[in-house]
Every structure is written in C-alpha cells, then in structure tokens.
Structure 1
C-alpha cells in the first residue's frame, strides 16, 4: 500500500489553490473585458444619437424658417407676378428673404417650371438642395398643390458645421468619425426635395473622460490578488499549525515512546482547553442556578422565550403545505423573517457591552398590521378553546416609530403570559373555566397609541407585581423566567412609551401600552385618488383580493365617473393587453409577489412606466429591501390588510384649457391634435379679433400662445401687450424667430417655437 507524504499533500493543496485562483482570475478578466466592450458600444451609440439629434434640430429650424418665408404674402405674390411686378416687389421680397437667419446658406435661386430663373442671389456651391414650391390657394401644400417653381439653396460646409456647433457645443470636426449626410432625405419639413447633392460631415461628440471603470477594475484586481495570497497563507498556516505540526509531533513521540502529557506543545494546549471547557460548563451550571439575573442566563432564556412561537407556527403551517393560500404563506414568511431577525439581534448582542446598544433600528410602522400579524401567529399556536381576539377602533392608520422585531417580541411575551395565567386557572377550576384573551388598539384621550391586552386568568397579587416588573421573579410558573414584563417594560420605554399593569387575583390582568403617534411612513399612501375618465388595473393572483377591490370601487364609483376597472391574474396577460388610456390616466394596484413568476410587482410597474400612478399592494410591506426599492422609484406601498379600509377619492378630470392664435390653419390643426393626445383642450383662432369676441369666457391664468406675424395690421407681441393690460398673465410668443430677434417684452412670459410645447 502506497503512503502519501504530508509534504506532498501540502504541495497538492497549494497547487490547487493557485490553479483555482488563476481560473477565477481569467474569468474575472474576461468579464471585465466584455463589460468594457459593452460600455464602449453604448458610448458610441449615445454619441451617434446626439449627432442625429443635432442634425434633426438644424433641419427642423431650417424647415420652419423656410416655411414661414414661403408662406408669406410677399413671397407668394412674387412667384405669381410677371417680370415688371416682380421688379416692383423685389425690395420687399429681399427684406423677407433676409429674415432667413441661417449663415450656412450663402446663395439661392428660384426657377420656374421652364427653368426660367426669376430670382438669384449669393454664391453657388457644389452643395445644394432643390425644394419644390407647391401651393394650393396660396398656401403651401405638397400633397395637392401645384408645383410651378423650385427653390435651390446653396450651402457652405464650414458655416454649416459652425451652425451645428451652436446647437450642440460638444460637436467637433472628426475626420475618422462616422460620416453623416445632412441633405440626404426626400423631404425637408413642409417641402419635397427635387434634387440635392450629398453634404458629408465627419463629426464627433466631446465627452468627459470617465476612468471609474478602470479604477474599479484595478481595485477589484488588486483586492482579488491580495485575497488569493491571504487565503493561501492562511490555509498553509492553519494546515501546519493544526494538522501537519501536531501529526509530526505525535508521530515522532510515538516512535520514540515518549509520553505526550509532559510536553508543552499543541497537544498539551488541547488537553488544557478541554479541562477549561469542563470547568466553565460546571461554573455556568452553578451560575444558572444561583444567579438568575446574570446576563448570560437572561440572554439564553430570552432566546428560548422568543424562538418558541415562530417555530411552532412554522411546524403547524408546514403540515398544510399541499394547499397553501396567500394568508398562510404570509404567516410562514412572517415566522421565518422573525427567526432571521432574532438571529441577527443575538449576534449583535454578543458584541455589545450593553444589551440594547446599537441593536435595533426604529422605523415608522403601522401598529394595526403588526398586531394582526402577531395575533395570526399566536392563533395558530394556542388551543382553539382559548379565544384570542383583536379589536381595532378606527386606528388602522396609526404609526409608531419602533423596531418591529422588538415590538413583536413584547406583544408575544404579553400574550404568552396571559395564556399561562389562563392555563393556571383551568388547572385550578377544571374544564368548566372559559378563558379568553382580548387585544384592543385605539387612540387614547391623550392622543397616543393605546394597546390593551386583557385576560381573565389567575391574576397577580399586588405584593408580587412590583417584583415581577423589576425582573428575575416569576410567580405561578413552574419554570418561569420572570423576564416577560420587565424586559417588555424597558423596551416600550425605549420607544418613548409606557407600560402599566392592573391585576386582580382570580379576575385577570390588564396591560396597557402607550406609544407616541408618529407621522405615517413615506412609503404609505394616505388614500387612493382617482380621476374621472381613467382606468384602474388590478394585478393579483388571489381572487379574494380582486373581489375585495370590486366591492370597494362599487361603493364609490358612479356611471358619470367613466372609470374602467381591469382585472389581471398574471403579469404576462397585462403586458400583452393594450391599455385603453394614456399612462397618465392609468392607476395600478399591483401585487408584489406573484405566484410561480420570476418577476415582481415592482418589475411590472417599471415595465409599464406606472411609477407615478401605481400602488404596490402586498403583504411584504415589512421587508426593508422592498420598501427601499419601491421608495427609490417613488412607488407607494399599501399593506394588503389595509385594502379594506383605505379611503378612495374620485376627482373630476378637469382638462386644461390653452389658447393658440395663428393665421396658419395647418399649424392650428396640429395644435388641436396634440391637445387631444395630451388631455388638453386647445382653442385655436386664426385672427386676434376672433379671440377678442370670446375673451370673457377664459380665465386670466389661461396659457395663451400668439404668433408674432399675424395676417393683420397688429403684431402678435402688441396684441399680447393689450391682453397683459387686461390681466392675462400666461402669455407666450409662438414664432420661428429666436428670442434675440425681439426687444425686451416683460409682458411675454417666454418665446417658444411653433411646435406644441406639450
């Protein structure tokens, strides 16, 4: 039989560590390389999008200016006139052409259908674009108008690039960048393009250098290498100290026949530690019997006292897992979460000199829901012959700033004490005795949260009550610890509250807890607000929740509200079905945990873009991660138990009124269409006099958009001044000119473009 040398084993372990480290390192480097490549691709796409956006803005501005000039009366008259009339109109025509504030255009010409040039100015360049001038009733109309003239524009590439840089200062000349043809298109705004030559530009976008990825990668790499060396060192150290060296010592001494007990080495230390552990165990047993108030004894008894309830709940519910309803799932999760929280608290306690230093984290919690959770757990545990009831007197929206784990511990202790007191009475009086425990939540006359826990058990004698509250003394319990009332009293006082006990022998005990009322948590919705002409979508895999919401909405909705209720039991059905209203008119009531689905309610809300109009309805409201994720997105959380009580408010869907005054019927039609899609009522007028006739029907704060160049003697800004003097305050100048084209006009709130600003 071949025997392995201990040194060979050490070498094999070290090689395995190095190989594993290299393998993981290679995978990490590959992952970082892929991530860096994706970052570069995304950066390139972003730059390309910024360039395209700049070009779109330039084309849009150019097309608007050309449309304004081509739609002017002087321009149309010039096209339709003979040579003599055109000469007379030429000064006005040139003035109109000069309004084309585009330095990139250095020349232009207008030709008749027979190639007769009726107007030419500036320089010609190889880069040009020829537009069809099509009119119907003297109005531009590419679809039905007659196209008797063409308008050719000549561009200077350098000036064009300067114009683009004014739109986006981050652009720069980049011969190696992707080429973009500015003039390659079939249309330019309102114009069809008859002919054009390519105008190629090579542009890049300046971006700030971001070295965070490289810093992060370098830090991770250095950390990884250091960790590998540290692990290698620790494994070698542990192996040598606890395996190799002791085995070598034992082997050499056994070969020599020397006794081990007289050597001051690791083996002797092990023997010493074993002896010490036995001594500590005996001392701990003695301490447990003689000193019940010692810290270790209290902690161990507290652990047993706290873990007993959730363990029992898990054991009972697990037997019914064949048909698990959401209510029972909630109980199981609550018990499991409680165990996890208790474990974390115990670990924290072990590192603190004082029992409560830095252990608990206090949040604003809904007391009613915490009590319902606790009562649900306790009902599963206790005998059905002992009723445990909960009464909530108009206190569902009361919040207290507490640690929910510690609060559950206090209430659970109180109920356990009440249960033991009743069981003592049953032992004394037999099965004819009927015990009961009642928990009541209300708002006290002093505007505090009041919790009363009442039982008709054996009661506590007055001379023993004070001792029990001080801790360490238990009356009437065979193995009592005496820690329930005393620790609970300290806990409630740490939350800024108080605990009072009233008890009478053979009558029972009443425990009154008072806590300060805290403002509701930021994630909690005070009410559900719906607007008329809207849609409510309900996503939940529990039919009972759908029935509850139907009952709630049926009580408050009327036919004239025109609110549609849509029910969905699976997220994929909601995703596939088209919604009947715009996002702003949709209100969602979405469950967080969807059975047998790999997405959550928050994922659904994000995919539908309902962060501002949806509420997460869930029993997982206690989960801190769920709260933080929802709060980060601005999503409110409604505990499911509150669904039956939250107020529902219906508001009238008052549509915002807007006035648009422009002599271009195509533009006014466009504004009306945009208003319909944005839930705004746009009143359009082609003449200022038309608006003056009905001005009394509009409020003074109605937004009014006015074209500067109206087909009247008065200009738009002058008409706006008259409206300002009458008290109208929301006045906007809708024009194709830049703001610097006008003198300061304090009555104009803002100068905007021709496109609807909504």
Structure 2
C-alpha cells in the first residue's frame, strides 16, 4: 500500500519540531537577554552618571553663587575630557548660559534642546540630564550634560547574545534530530524485516536485536494476532460477498423478466390497432434473451436463497428506515400492478388489470411511508386476485377529488354479503382464505389513518368488491418529475443497457412534439458511449438532458455515480427500476438529481417549451 502524501517519517517530524523549538529558544533567549542586559546597563550607567552629577553640582554651588568662572570652567572641562559627557552647560537663574564646554567644535544650541530628554546631534542620539545648583537653599543656576547613547556597545552586546543563542539552538536541534534517528532506527529496521518476511508465523526473527525492544515485540505479537484472525474471517467474508452477489443477480433476473413481460403483454393488447408494437415485442424478446444469459450465475443459489431473492428481500442492511416523504403514488400503483399481474397469484387465471388515471391524479403527491404503502397495495391486489375464481378484471382508478387523492380498486370477483362485510378490517378476521390472519387489510386501514386518509370497503355478493382510498395531497416532490419538458433544439441523451427502454423512448418521442422542434435524440448502452456523447456535446456547447439508467448491466459504476463524477446533476434525470427505493432517494436528494421510476416511463407526458 502506498504511503499517503500527508504522512511523514519520525525523523522528518522530529526535524520539523526541532527547527520550531530551536527558533523559539533563539528568539525568546535573544530578546529576553538583550532586554534584561539593556535594562541593567542603562540602570547602572545612568546611576553612575547621576552620582557624578550630584557631586559636581555641589562642588559648583559656591563658585557659581560667588559669580566666579575659573573653577566652574575647570570642572566642566574635566567632565568633557573624561569622555563620559560630550556637551556641558552651566546656566544662571535667568536661563542664560554662563559656561559651556563641548568635545567637538560643533555644538548644539541649548535653547532648542533644554526641554528634551533625548536629542539628535550629528545624526546620533544623545541623552540630556539636568541638575539644579543650590547654595544655602538658594537656586543659583543649573548644569546640563549631554552624553551619547553607546550604540557600539549595545550592538556588540546584541551580536554576542545572538551568537551564544545560535550555538545553543543549533546544539538542541542536532541533539533532538539525533535522538529521533535513534528512536526511528529500530522501527525502520523492523519495517524492513516485515517487508522482506515471507513467514506469517514469525515476522520478527528470534535472534534479531530488535526483539530486545519491548514495544516492538508487543506490536509484533498484536500484528500476528490480527493477521491470524483476518485469515480466519477471510473465508466467511468471501462467502458472504458471494452470497450477496448471487442474490443480487437473481433479483435482477427476476425483475428484468417481469418488467419485459409486462410491456410485452401491454404491446399484445394494442397489437391489433398499432403494428409498431411488433418492434416493442422484438425488443422484449431481445431483453429476455440477454437476461437469460445471467441465469448460469445463480446456479449456486440454495432454495432458501432463491426464495429470498424472489421475495425481493436481498440485503437491506444499508436500506434507510421507512420515513414520511412526499411520494408519487401512481408510480407505486403501476409498479405493484405489474408485479402482481405476472406473479404466481395470476398464473392459472385470466385476469385483466386496468389502470385509469386522470391528469390531476397523475400529478398528485401524498405524504406516506413508501415501503408500507407498497406493502398495503400488494395486500389489496392479492385480495382482489384471490376473489376472482378463473377470469375477471381488476380496475384501478386514480383521480383528484376536493384536494384529496382518490384511489379505487375494483374487482368483479366473488364479493361479500353485508354480514361478512361488517367483519372485515378487524385483526384476526380472515374471509375465505385458509390460514389467513386478517392482518393485511387491518394494517392498511391503520396506515392510511396515520397518514391522514381513509380506506372504505363496499361489496356485493357475486358482483365484486371496491376498495376506496382517500389521502390528502402534499406539495410536489421536485425529485419526481410528473412531466418532461424540453427546450427547442435541445439534445436528449438516453443511456440504458436495455434495448426495450430505447425503443419505448423512441416511440414516445416520435409520437410527441419532440420531432417537430429540431430536438435530437442520441442513444447509448454503456458508460463509455455516454461519456463520449456528453463530452462531444459539452465541447460544442450544446444544450442537452441526460436520461440514464442507474443499474447498467455488467458495470461497476452506477448511473448516479457517473452523473456525480461528470458533475452534470443539473442536466440529468435518473430513469431506474428502483426509482421508489429509499436508499436511492436519499442519495439523489443529496445531489438534487431527479428520478423517473421505469414503472411510469410509458405514461409520463412529454412536451416542448416554446
């Protein structure tokens, strides 16, 4: 396994930390020592000068008071020639300069600097100190002295400090780095032994000097224990993965055959009026042929696993719990009608299923728990098929009545008398079924009442039964479009591995306004073909919409992964057999990717925005 780029060795980590620590020691040490030295030096130097000035001011008191200038002049010259003071002035009480002496010929003007503590002269800083001269408590004058700030001394002191702490910082850096290398050496050598070892039972050789390190020995034992347990679990994991893949293939084969036969039956019913349906039938048989090719993959399924796949109960550990959401119920109805029509319940009966849906009903949404609603629908359709002896009709009507979605399921089966009708809907009461529990209808009534709706049953003996469901409508769920609207001169890209799907879209677009508005329709069956089509359209800056299946056959990448990878969510719609899955809904909602369940593909309206 390659080492991630964001990782580093112990030596590199220690080098980085040593640099940081050395830099901190250098900066803090230099600053603190310099400031302390500067403060102490200023304090000491200023104290010595102040003491000298105090003595001088007392010595000048009598001469200045008597008006003499010989002795004051000698004292002032002595102060200047000593080198401690560069400029000295003695002033009288009226402020006039009585005596002055300077080390250089250039002299500053006392009148301009006497109010300052620091003044600049010849581009150098000077400190000005003033002392009062008093004789018998009478003020007789002042002495001003200016001394140069010792920049050379300060600079020399600072450089000495920098050199000292540079040596200290370098010493610490080298010691820390050496320590890190010594610590990393056994670990590096152990890693080399692991890399070169072919014996999983030992790794660490008994005569290796590394075995004297307790930490490495402990880690070696933990690693061996982990690898032993991994080997024990490997067989179980492989078997679990195999079983999950087999069940998935079995479920897909079942679903594809059912979906193909549903469309074939629909085409046969319309064959007498529309010879184009022959093309659909050919595509159906091609799809069934391709699906049959997958059957050898399920040869290892046990009977229990086959039953689990046929019931659609494949791995659901990752499926989110059923929660309330605004749902397009007509998609559930078409899905359940198609599955019941081709189930074993109708295998020995001639039952015609009709679904009549108004425009308002098709566009309506209701807030339900999707999985529970499909389960309730399945139970209601099962009851209807069981009520028909040999042949009959089950008709479903969907419409919008006073802001309530109305769903009526009517069958012309045996029906019930009034006495029997009063008993149904109670838990534990089953009519005409051996081993029935009566839970199905009771659960449906409870679920609908929890969703704010109702379920009513009416029936007449030997005439049939009608189930009337009423549910409050909710806001439209943007993830489930109820109409496909395209712009003129737009390109429609259909990507699906099923030739039947392409045939259905082709017929749908040819019978709509699509062909009249310069809208191109491009078809692809693989991700590779989809990627090329999309790349060409993007390169030519053409407007398009992608209709892509999620479960493309024999490919690891799904349709939703392709859309997300290409970053074309705003130009794509997922057309999938699992359009009503909670897991798929959660994934699509995070990236705002619309979904069209294949159960309504044939029924969704198509128009052009002009």
Instruction: Tell me the TM-score normalized by structure 1.
Output: 0.38
Higher alpha-carbon Rg: 2
Instruction: Tell me the TM-score normalized by structure 2.
Output: 0.47
